Structure 1
């Protein structure tokens, strides 16, 4: 679906793109000449490979040169893979670990340039392994440097810092200024990702100074200009002030740098850099309000990303374009592109792309009014963000930043000293070489004459010595053979004995270790079971105490209303009661039976909650309507004390819960509020949505509960069940209301506070 939409909307600027390409090709004859020269050299190397049939180090060197010419250019990918396989096979056959390291490195760089980061990482690691085998420092440094850049792409800054530290140390040892500058670029990328743009710009300027003086790496210059553009675009006003740049100049500087980088990338056909630069250019255009230019740049970024063999740049460019469409309320295109980016991120474990895609999808769903779907996407966005960057990584990065800053400053001083020392050494070496050349011509003649005389004497002496040695060796060889035969027999016997002893000791050690492990786990399991049994015993004892207390309450509190009912019936039978007394006694009996009914309902609910298999029935419940029903049912109780009972809950709050359990909890809490509120008081019920929960509060003018009482109710071992406190009008409770509220709140995944 995403490809079809892209074809439709690219038609609006395809004509402009075609003109731009013709202008680019017409105005860049120099680039054509450079590429033609490079292709001629490549053809020459391939022809040399065909004519040179011997499989030796020279042929392997030819394969490596072909890889160097092709790894980062738009050539036939199959041709590159062919020579990559050839170089690896020949390197294995010749057991040449250094050349194998180069072959794996350039293969990894090829995949890295085209966005296939997983394959690139695999080849870089194999290259490091092969270079380590022979202490091949150049190979180690190259692979560490590119691994650092790769981990920057994956936002794994901890690994990126490790790789940069390793690369910088080796380049310092080799005195390689160009590669040290490349490390500065990688370090700057990390600081940019951490939003420390001022520090990043300082490292980029160091690298720029080195590459400008050396003038040997167009790709390095393009990368520096691209990252400088990012830094000025993302720098805070405070950072710009520290750099001496007015905030109004931010976009001019960013645009100037990205144009320089884009020109270098187009000249060298550096596809991954082209993709990044069009994205940055789109960001600048969008920031200054040129939405049309921004859209065109984002689309060009995606077009060039699709020419790469890997999926990283396609996913990243799709996410950026989707975010732009979402900001412009083009929700259909934003949704299609974001879903495409999400698939790429999930399939390849690109957590940064996955995070950005979820954020865009959440925004789109929210704008479409699908709030439940938006919430799901936002939760996934938070989960992806946590994968990408957790607290432990932040600590590790901070530590390594300090280590890296110190190391870089120290090496910068040493590199300056090396440049000064190198100039002095070159002058001294030139003078020494001239003196040695003059002295050598005189000494050569004398040495040749002495050598001739010495050789003549040596030949005579050697002849005599060889005759004597021959006789001695014949005797010695016979004697040595006899001694060696005896030694071999003794060694064989000793080896057999040692082998048996080692086997016995190994078996014995395994038996003892296994026994120890079995005993250890058995003891640990026993302790864990004892703890569980003790806890269960305590809970059963508390439950038994609660049960006894409840039965004592029931036996006492149910006897009184039943006896009262019997007495009134007897009076009615005798006919000895007036109408006035009958009405009075009936009212008292109604209150008593109402209390008894509430107590029986709470007891039955408590008994149900203690049964195994008792579970809430979760469903979508309108909180406002549910609270309204409970409040209406409690108006009779509140009217007796002239208490104002009001629900202030909106009818648009919906929660996933058990309606019956929620009603029971609310009835008990509102009943308690009425019970402990004086006559003519107020009781309000309010609710609000906080994150993933609905908070319901019963607010009254009564004495309320202390923090210690609330903590005691929420305690897993609550020992006050069955006890009751008289209300403001001497009302009596059941003693298990709060226990039921706490139990049912836990079953509904809530809590009392």
Structure 2
């Protein structure tokens, strides 16, 4: 109870802190006469406000960026970009922050300003850490540590130790993380860096949740609140209170945990940060659910969903991947430019050596003339001959050396090109598979977790139970379909060199696919017609072609109204076999057709609100390409869609046959 009262007093103290520093800076800004001074003061105001009001801080950083850009003040621009990146971090806008940190790093590198370079590397590490990309986070933290060590800057070392401690905590190495936090707080206490010291005290207190005695973390957390109070920093308050509530939960004091979690939620509302509001609401919702108070828990789930939608972490991660790829591409371009410069330098050396060869030839000619002139003296002639042989030998050695160097350069250039192509291919596959597994699959699983926590309520009505199980079924179907598509696609990617091509009967393969989707079609009473000549065959990989057909039929069922009809047809072209999946469903808007088979995937709900991920068509398109096939789509909104598979025609293909005996109709 005593600690709870202390936390209330600390919160009150923070709320009533006097903004003397900001008032002084505003007064100086009004009196400033030069752009350089105004830019510096706007950046200083942004730094001061980020501890109290993130939106005001962003406003001043934006003004500093605009003025610095107009005045071509590169250093002021880089500082403003780093401050805006910090504001994006507070608001949970990690993709924007990543882009601005990269821009600041580029300017810092050009200026060779170690302060900007360290700040950008440190911020990039934090952004990647928040985006769950620990590999890139480790890379940038390590670079920041190298800069801090090289410059012997203790403040930078303290910040980097803190960030590395966060990484080790995520990896589960809690003792090592605690040592890094303790090293950081000692450095920051010696330097008088109160804000950074408060952050590390929070981290030390929070990590005790994973150690033997969680209650030992409480003094550190309350000391962190006290330090933040002394500098008027309110942004860390919701997180610190949340850690205190978690410790109370771990020690079995649920009532204190509930009271502190409510304080954390109230403090998060004052920050206007969706990231902090969502985190505080999740903690409070978990406590209510554990106390079987399901009504407030349900209301908090609505609030969480609202703020999670604002954060849209999945889109931020995709944008971050694009930003990272663009930055790496720029790096590769610079490397290629350096290689071209080196090749040009080697070319000049070769030209000089060729000039030496020419001069050597001239020398040989002069020696020959001397030989004729000195013909009378045999001794002189023999000496001249010996000299000519020696010079010629050296020239031949130089010529061999030049030829060897040219061959080495050509080999190195070819090897570099091959390695670059392999790295790009592996990086693309890694980023795609990690993005899909980490985020497309996690979204439906998180939804399942939230729905199952609601299902524990004994007071749920029958109507609400039906709604919950309906949502549960849809999320399960979505996760299962996505996982099946992902496994087949990943197998094809990893086993691209073992393509199992064979002659396949199209009608039999299509009948198998219809049988596999029969249960799904029967739910909506959809009839599927198989109108394919039983003699038609094609050379393809059975598993991959089955996947593509099954995906197209499943999509057709999804967007076809109940009691509707789907047709599977095929016909022979000059050099290919065309397989058509035709439905009379909702159709696809023209602006979306061009994005169906690209990384800009999207998904819409079916006629009965069926969910999807948009991965199926992208995977199908790639699998067809691996078999030298193609896919086309013809769609009109409100009238339906026709998806056409084109595969190379085998030798001696039979002519198309039509008739009642070639039509098989399945009424589902």
Q: Which has the higher contact order (CA 8 A, sep 6+)?
A: 2
Of Structure 1 and Structure 2, the greater helix share is in 1
